[in-house]
Amino acid sequence: MREPFAWQPDAGTVADATLTAFIAHHGLAGYDALLERSTSDPAWFWNAVIDWFGIAFSTPYDAVMDSDDGAPWTRWCVGGETNLAANCLDPTRHDDAMPAIAWEAEDGTTRHWSRAELRDATARLVHVLQGEGIGPGDAVGLYLPMLPETVAAFFAVAALGGVVVPLFSGFAADAAADRLNDAGAVALLTTESTRRRGRRVAMKPVADAIAARVPTLRRTLVLRDERDDGHEAWDPERDRDWRALCSAAPQAWVPRAMPADAPFMLIYTSGTTGRAKGTVHTHCGFVTKLAADFGLSLDFHAGDRFLWMSDMGWVVGPMQAVVSTLLGGTLVLAEGAPDWPDPGRLWRLVERHRVSYLGVAPTVARALMRHGPEPVAAADLSSLRITVSSGEPWNPDSWHWFFEHVCRRRVPILNVSGGTEIGWGILTGTPLHPLKPCAFAGPCLGMGADIVDADGHGVATGEVGELVLRVPSIGLTRGLWQDPERYLESYWNTQPGLWVHGDWASRDADGMWYIHGRSDDTIKLAGKRTGPAEIESRLMATGRVAEAAACGIADPVKGQAVALAVVPAAGETPDAALAEALAEAVVTGLGNPFRPARVVFVDELPKTRSQKVMRRVVRAVFEGRDPGDLASLVNPDAVAALTAKIDLPR
């Protein structure tokens, strides 16, 4: 039996959608015709996006794409010159008086910048960086929380032709230094401190330790924290006072024209083993891909107020900066955590700042739903127009909870799946399509997404296969930094001629798409392949679990067995009776072959700052293996705690 749709767009939503105007402008019969043409003729589509959104080139390009060297090495906007920062902060694009950034500290203090103030702060910093000898092609690390100045720094490095290296603001020195050494960074921008969960978190001492490990690093610009009574130690040879230098710098705005496909950002993703992968994003590629995904598919409008609590070290951080400025919105930034000082903080931020466009990771929704609907009900969320979700698959219970209590069955959840290497999405929702729980409306435009078997053939409706791209996209990473062979091995060599993203996916009879987790997270028992989300959904449906991570671990008899790391719901006793009840829930839903071999109760699961559960880490700990790169974890103590529980006698 087909699952019914949970939401249908009304006539007003369809009429107001940018997609509707774009389809009409190009004389197409409807969305399906647009999707087909964007796949069969990607050069037409990317040219159309550039034209529609007025992405400017100081030197026009000769061809929007050139795949003569093969799909993995496609060149974009060949012969053209542009600059991402110039496009986003162009004073003729939107009214300079429009609010660009609203920032709120943990204690409720707020700061506001207009578009003119953001551009002036960016221009001053460009002059400061140039005065310190930093120029085109130089890599500059950003080790910063989400502040207005962080957005200015992101654009300043791009404006002068440098290469931004965003770093997770919770990194230890070694992890950050590894990335900056790989990039050959010459400068680091940081702050003295930030606040998280009511505590002062010193960042300057970590920045000092990073600098000591990166021999190419010549300068550290430090943003003084004006809330501190004293200041951190200072190295007069290396450290510079960010605010003091900017206050004396000119406000002249002259972004450097760069080759359109020149790198402007290296953003690193964690590797399962070995060093992190440096994905390469370009001036023309990142801005055009985001214009297509957010400006068209996800229906971001000028005047939207955009909140997505994240970090600059995850692709969401750079995305927010580009989308909100290019498309004329206001970026709402918040210091700290979404559930501190109490579980209602995120919802109060929506109310106080009249957020119309809210982004969330499903794991954040799962974490907040454990507090019940009361904190959500206490807030006025009538300003919401769109919610966007990404990060990992939803569970049906958390999707329904979010749709019922946050969206109030009025606002759509536009689900997106993609990645750092993609520049944003592969699969997406749109305001033209109905919603099913946990589903996607279909592929992003211009991507040629498909689901294939081991031989590269498309799979039938209802079958699970590998998610791939059949055409290169303007947003794809231009290789991996200084490692072309690893790039080909990671994405292109598994299925020759196809980009293999590493996710399992399927389609249903209504044309909705689903992600079933990472293909290296797949659990295969008794000839059946399933993703962790299917097992975790059974656990969550019991109402006795706050969060769970399911993984397949090596078994000497069956090949694989199911292991569970579980955070019990409030009031539940983590004992053998609960473990048995959860095991029975899995068996009832999936069959006896999926009966868990291990159920371990923990206080928290290992997660990234973007709240993605690191299942590969959980699996490695269960199997007693090296879990690989843990630098992106926000809570590394959770790994030690899980290890201690697993090592206990059974």
Q: Which two tokens stand for residue 556?
A: 């000497």
Give the pairing of strands 559-568 and 545-555. Answer: antiparallel
262-300 pLDDT, tens digit per residue, is 999 999 986 544 568 899 999 999 999 999 999 999 999
User: How buried is 31 (Cβ within 10 angstroms: 0-12 exposed, 13-18 middle, 19+ buried)?
Assistant: buried
**Alpha-carbon gap, residue 94 to 562, rounded angstroms:** 54
With a cut of 70, list the residues of the chain below it in pLDDT: 1, 270-275, 520-522, 524-529, 557-558, 609-610, 647-650
542-581 pLDDT, tens digit per residue, is 999 999 999 888 877 667 889 999 999 989 999 999 999 9
User: How buried is 107 (Cβ within 10 angstroms: 0-12 exposed, 13-18 middle, 19+ buried)?
Assistant: exposed
Cα–Cα distance list, 358 to 346, 373, 522 (Å) = 10, 18, 30
Fill in the DSSP letter of residue 480. B
CATH of domain 523-647: 3.30.300.30
CB 224 within 8 A of CB 246: no
Phi-psi region of 464 (alpha: psi -120 to 50; beta: other; left: phi over 0): beta
Domain definitions of the chain by residue range: 523-647
Q: Which pLDDT does position 273 carry in this prediction? A: 45
